Chains A and B, each alone.
Chain A
Amino acid sequence: MYRSQKLSLRYFTAAIVLFGVMILFGLLSALYYLYPSMLFNVFNFSTSKILHIDTLVIWLLMAFMGAVYWYLPKELGHEVVGMRLAEITFWVFCAVVAVVALVFVFVQYGSANEFTLWFINQGRKYVEAPRWATIGVVAVMLVFAYNVIGTAVKARRMTGIMWVLVLDLIPLLIVYLDAFPAPTNMSVDLYWWWWLVHMWVESTWEVLIGCVMALVLMDVMGTSRRIVEAWLYIEVMLVLGAGILGLGHHYFWIGTPRYWLGIGGFFSALEPLPLLGMVIHSIYDAGMHRMKTANRPAFYWITAEAFGNFIGAGVWGFMMTLPQINLFSHGTQWTVSHGHFAFYGAYVCGVLAVFYVAKQKTAGTEFLDGRAWKWSFGLFNFGMIGMVMGLLIAGMAQAFYGRAIGGSTLMAFTQASENPWFIAGMYARMGFGVIFALGYVVLVYDLLTAPRRVPAPQTPMEPA
């Protein structure tokens, strides 16, 4: 095992721990909707939700970095350069996250001054972490970029997948710089804030997960590099071709010019295409190899990723991406339904596949299967689908009663929130959220226990 792969395992562990923290705060946030007087004036919904979504961003970033540290030496046949620095950076990263979390929990918010922005809370969704911590994360990512690029230079070798990955790191880092400014003008603030949020989840991360998926497919199915690379380029072309101007679906109502309604609606409506492409790709590959795989959990999770990405991001996103619908669905639990489904389908499923690839390697088995992973796979998917269905119904009630009929005033908001469909949706989210959390418990159990020796399937794997 390469030294950087040991670091990967550390990143994966940290990611899984934070995944657990995230689920806990997700459950707590959902509980406020049912018991609004809970912890009132003591620990606010806002703080709980910040911890939920900020840990989301961080644990996925950690998992992505772990995945890259895992595959980089394998792809280039060369140990990653600057490993000492990378190992130190890991602990710095963990320390930054811990300090920020403690400040959020115990301080929560500050007064209206720059000190608060630097040391307590920036109050911008997903990037609430104070500026000092943001600088810390940028430093971590710079070291990471140095590791990746330095290794490529040293190895004097680059594969197509690695090229895509390296080039993708540049915009990923650049838009993160958006986490610093605090313009007075809300329109300008949101304009650039969406460059960060949309360009991450619908462009750069999507490309990153495309690379990871390509690597996993070669690993667990032995798909040929040529096919995987051709698909990857097609995906990149379509993801960026539609996703860059698809950014416009966030520019309908923030003060921006009217032409964004047409441009944003049109290009974002094309965004599901590459995601459909990935589904076809995975079915094609699975068919080509007659579903033969050396790692069943990883194969199932990567397949779930393809479908989840298409349905959660593509279909759920498409539902509300046309301005005529978005005028009413905008900023309701409908958005939350899509947010959960998309993040889960596109990224959580993908990194879970990588965790199982790593598990197979550390366990040293030729063939990975078992029983526990099936339970966690089932509970996760069942829980998530139940949650997003509940949220969709709640969101539609809000769009209809709160926005279209009620006109979005406080009174309309209140009435929509007291609508039986809305309340049913909130209970469904809570119940299915608990099922989702059980899936997590089984996942951790499964990853921690050594695999039973399962006989490999009759037909041997063809070499990669």
Chain B
Amino acid sequence: MKVEGATTHEGRAGLDMTDPRFWRAGAISTTLVMLVVLAFLSVDSMRVISVGGAHVPRYDVVNRHIGYQYDWSRREDVPVIGAPEPLFGRTLTEAQATALVREGKLVIQSRACMDCHTFFGNGAYYGPDLTKSWLDPAWPQIWMPMTGKPTREEAMVAFLMNPDQYPTWTRAMPNLHLTEREARATVAYLKWMSAVDTNGFPANFGKTQTQQ
């Protein structure tokens, strides 16, 4: 199938590589194959990442202790879901936990936290990554003393309601006027999120005792 053209090189095996139609067929078939593969992988991924799937816990995980430990067989850090440890001292039913975490997500979207912070490393880079914020040593080490609150979750609520009053350095977080209810929901969200299995990201979290 030779069409007239400026410079023609004869393709091998009778195929004319300078004929656009040859490449058009290639483009269409490659695309279709890739789309089919992606569809299968997406179905499988949804199974793993839907709530209660292999990598994403149910929302009532907020009733439990959550850790993040090195797993020698996987050679990376993995979340460890431990003994009961109710959030704000109250054990929630699954429905209550779901509603609370849902509200937390709405807080996060309505205030556009993602345009300063990252979640699982996605978002903006002005503030710290929040993937494992629940587990951040800054709560017991800095903010519990600073806010005078006895527990991690209460210190988080105090901080989220008035971040401008508790800065740890010059780049402070502005006040986004969260109500107490909104701040509690956000804390629940962060706790749930820290229990998601992220294939080891972030690595070495909280392993190094850095000092200011």
Where the two chains meet, the residues of A that have a C-beta atom closer than 8 Å to any C-beta of B are 32-33, 36-37, 40-41, 44-47, 49-50, 109-114, 116-117, 120-125, 128, 160, 182-191, 193, 224, 226-227, 229-230, 232-234, 236-237, 240-241, 244-245, 247, 250-261, 263, 327-328, 330-333, 335-336, 398, 403-415, 417-418
Distance in Å: Cβ of B18 to nearest Cβ of chain A = 6
B212 near A331: Cβ-Cβ < 8 Å: no
Residues in B lying within 8 Å of A, measured CB to CB? 3, 5-7, 18-20, 22-24, 26-27, 30-31, 34-35, 37-38, 41-42, 44-46, 48-51, 54-56, 59, 98, 101-103, 105-116, 118-126, 128-129, 131-133, 136-138, 142, 164, 168-172, 174-176, 179, 182, 185, 193, 196-208, 210-212
Distance between A178 CB and nearest chain B CB, rounded to angstroms:
13
Give every chain B residue within 8 A of A251 (Cβ-Cβ).
Answer: 45
B121 engages A330 (CB within 8 Å): yes
- Closest Cβ of chain B to A371, distance in Å, is 34
CB contacts (< 8 Å) of A332 on chain B: these are 125
Q: In the bound complex, how far is the Cα of B105 from the Cα of A114, in angstroms?
A: 11
Inter-chain CB contacts under 8 Å: number: 279
For residue A403, which residues in chain B have a CB less than 8 angstroms away from its CB?
202-204
Residue of B nearest to A332 (CB): B125
Q: A32 and B23 in contact (CB under 8 A), knowing A182-B106, A409-B137?
A: no
Q: Which of A40, A404, A418 contacts B203 (CB 8 A)?
A: A404
- A117→B31 contact, CB < 8 A: no
Taken together as a complex, chains A and B put the C-alpha atoms of A339 and B56 apart, in Å, by 29
A253–B136 alpha-carbon span in the complex (Å)? 18
CA distance A62 to B20 in the complex (A): 30
CA A406 to CA B205, docked complex, whole Å: 8
Q: Which residues of B contact A46 (CB under 8 A)?
A: 112-113, 115-116, 124, 126
With beta carbons under 8 angstroms apart, the residue of B38, B56, B168, B208 that contacts A185 is: B56
Residues of A contacting B: mostly? helix
A190 touches B120 (CB 8 A): yes
Distance between B99 CB and nearest chain A CB, rounded to angstroms: 10
Of the residues B5, B30, B54, B120, contact of A226 by C-beta under 8 Å: B5
A409→B204 CA distance, assembly (Å): 9
Among residues of A, the one whose C-beta sits closest to the C-beta of B25 is: A233
Can you sample 18 A-B contacts with CB below 8 Å?
A33-B171, A36-B172, A109-B111, A112-B110, A117-B106, A123-B108, A124-B114, A184-B51, A185-B50, A186-B105, A237-B30, A241-B34, A250-B122, A252-B201, A409-B205, A410-B128, A411-B211, A414-B168
B212 near A414 with CB under 8 A, answer yes
**Contact between B182 and A111 (Cβ–Cβ < 8 Å)?**
yes
Q: If A233-B20, A409-B138 touch, does A121 touch B129 (CB 8 Å cutoff)?
A: no
Of chain B, the residue at the smallest CB distance from A250 is B122
Which residues on A sit within 8 Å (CB–CB) of B6?
Answer: 224, 226-227
